[in-house]
Amino acid sequence: MLGPQFATWPENVSDLAHRVDTGRRWVPSPNVDPFPLPSAESKEEPVIPSAQSSSSYEKRKRHGDDDPFKRRRSFRSWLSSFRQSLFGGRRRERDSPQDTCDWPALCGGRHQVTPAEWRAYGYWARPSVNGVIVRNATPPSVPRDLTRREVEAVFRSLTDEHGSPRPENWVPRIEHPSLPPRPALWDTPRQPVHHVPPAELQLNPFLRHRATGRPPILFDLRVHQCLVYLGELPPLAPGEEPLRIPFYSDGPNGSQPATHPPVASVRITALADDTFPVFPWPITVMPHHPALPVLVRDVLNACIANFEERMTREEVDALALDRRPQVFRAYWARVRSMVAGRIPGDDDGLRRIDYLGDRVFFRGLEPAPDGDGFMLFMGAP
């Protein structure tokens, strides 16, 4: 029995074992129980460079180029045995295949998006075909109308004669009975949408602020998005580290829409519990392709990139006298610690992430009080 410190992460989490079986028809969003969640002092002034741009973010991107989805993984047996041992093989009656296929009419009324509907877009955008997760949502530069035999040839081309994955051979948006269908709830290509106030948008559960308890995801803004986690499981033995379950932001979880209805941009205009009356670095999140809505991973990437920027001398001078030592302490703690597999070093330069002090973990978004954009909530580890 899990202790009270283990909550559940959002129920729209994708099951990596739910893969495309090219020999049978796709079964929408299976019944899956949500996984459980467990729960340098220095007086020197830091380096404040004049340049505002950052190069270490690009280094982190290169560090994260080892895309786990370019390698074949076998999670089916692990996930199956884990669910059997932890949950006794129980299945929930909600989100049955019959229910998830019955997409609601969107005319009139406010539709509450179900976990299965969030998942359905992620499965369509990043399906696992022959053990290779492919990019299916981004439209090809030249649309191709393939025959069924040609589609099956594409399936076979995803691995070479040595068994190595070849995701670049995928043809986006092809249709086949074994592939996830495009969810009707999100228009793709994205249709023009009139401005919707943030309070009327439904945020993806991965992005919703939780006032208490564990955040929806374990997301340290100092690291690359490939190091985002769904949460932690109890250690296998006393004294060992907890088992962290990857979020896989470039997979079906991160490829879910950030909002419903879909939007062409998301604005983050406020920082919760900040002493500055106006957030100095508002964020405008854009989709990685103009034909797509803003996705969860677009929000994560934008937050990382924004706080990775270096602070200017003017921004440092504007800090309150009692706030400046806090920012400096955060700087020295960061540059002398291992972050994303490297130690930044004393000359890394003061960055916006240092402005947050020890509150470097994402806790979610809420509509800003003034109705303009969203408010970002951050917390300590």
- Sheet of 374-379: strands edge to edge? 283-285, 266-271, 374-379, 361-367
Give the residue from 8, 5, 4 showing the smallest Cα distance to 36: 8
> What three-state secondary structure class fits 231?
strand
Tokens of 20: 């495309």
pLDDT at 212: 85
Q: Which residues of the chain have pLDDT under 50?
A: 1-7, 31-42, 51-108
Residues with Cβ < 8 Å from 93, sequence gap 6 or more?
A: 31
Count Cβ atoms below 10 Å from residue 74 Cβ, excluding itself: 10
One-letter identity of residue 244: R
Residues 178, 181, 186, CA angle at the centre, nearest 5°?
A: 165
One-letter identity of residue 329: R
HSE-up of residue 366 (Cα within 13 Å, Cβ side)? 12
Distinct helix (H) and strand (E) counts, the chain: 9, 10
pLDDT at 374: 97
pLDDT digit string (tens) for 98-111? 333 333 444 445 78
pLDDT at 45: 58
| Distances from the Cα of 352 to the Cα of 20, 337, 355, 359, angstroms | 42, 17, 5, 12
- What pTM was computed for the model? 0.78
Residues with Cβ < 8 Å from 5, sequence gap 6 or more?
A: 38, 39
pLDDT at 251: 92
- For residues 250 and 186, give the distance between their C-alpha atoms in angstroms, rounded to a whole number: 19
Residues with Cβ < 8 Å from 153, sequence gap 6 or more?
A: none
Tokens of 22: 């090219």
Would you give the end-to-end CA distance of the chain in angstroms?
25
HSE-up of residue 365 (Cα within 13 Å, Cβ side)? 26
- For residues 171 and 272, give the distance between their C-alpha atoms in angstroms, rounded to a whole number: 43
